[in-house]
Amino acid sequence: MPISRSDLFAVLDNLNIPHKTVLHRPIFTVEEGADIKASLPGGHSKNLFLKDKKGQLFLLSALDRTQIRLNQLHKALGCARLSFGKAELMEEVLGVTPGSVTAFALLNDIKQQVTFVLDAALLDQNPVNFHPLKNNATTAITSEGLLHFAKANGHEPIIIDFSANKDGLPALVLPANTGHL
């Protein structure tokens, strides 16, 4: 059974991560929520569930305006070519449905199947905003809180700078076992 929103908030509280949630209509795309985001401070995320050709799973959380060249990302990650993971697999592993993909869904990855990839530009924002497991609300936490949350749940993030390389290739900022900020 996937973690509930109240379970998520309890985890954040237990980790001493301050959070604030705003309820709103369901939004399924970055563009659909533009009016909602305009009233909420901080960096807004877009989240992609990806699978490489060898079956490795990734959750990418990026700043909503970051341009991601999916056909180049595998080079920075050192994996096979990437594509979007199927909705059924996402629901099985992360416990969320399309439109509700979020870094908070890492709580549901109890088998540690997913590699967490973070956009350096998102970490430069405070607060950072994610759906709290369903797309009818937005929860804000600090970028430090996001890193603490991920690490506490066994998902040491890989941090990527999508603007770093003059050739348009994403660059690995820090290996998974080091901190940021």
DSSP 176: T
Q: Tokens for 68?
A: 């991601």
Domains, the chain, in order of start with CATH, read: 5-17+42-174 (3.90.960.10)
Residue owning tokens 């040491």? 156
Q: Give 77-89 pLDDT, tens digit per residue.
A: 999 999 999 999 9
User: Measuring CA to CA, which residue among 102, 107, 111, 89 is closest to residue 150?
Assistant: 107
What DSSP line would sit under 123-149, residue for residue?
Answer: HTSSSEEE-SSSTTEEEEE-HHHHHHH
Q: Answer yes or no: are the C-beta atoms of 49 and 99 closer than 8 Å.
A: no
Strands 137-141 and 128-130, how do they pair?
Answer: antiparallel
pTM (2 d.p.): 0.89
pLDDT of residue 37: 84
Task: Tell me how far apart the alpha carbons of residues 142 and 125 are, in angstroms, rounded to a whole number.
Answer: 8
Q: Give 124-142 pLDDT, tens digit per residue.
A: 999 999 999 999 999 999 9
From first to last of its 181 residues, the chain has per-residue pLDDT tens of 789 999 999 999 999 999 999 999 898 877 787 888 888 999 999 999 999 999 999 999 999 999 998 888 999 899 999 999 999 999 999 999 999 999 999 999 999 999 999 999 999 999 999 999 999 999 999 999 999 999 999 999 999 998 865 555 566 565 444 444 3
Work out the end-to-end distance of the chain between its first and last CA atoms, rounded to an integer number of angstroms: 34
Task: Tell me how far apart the alpha carbons of residues 81 and 95 are, in angstroms, rounded to a whole number.
Answer: 24
Cα distances (Å, whole numbers) of residue 60 to 20, 44, 162, 170, 172: 22, 13, 12, 13, 13
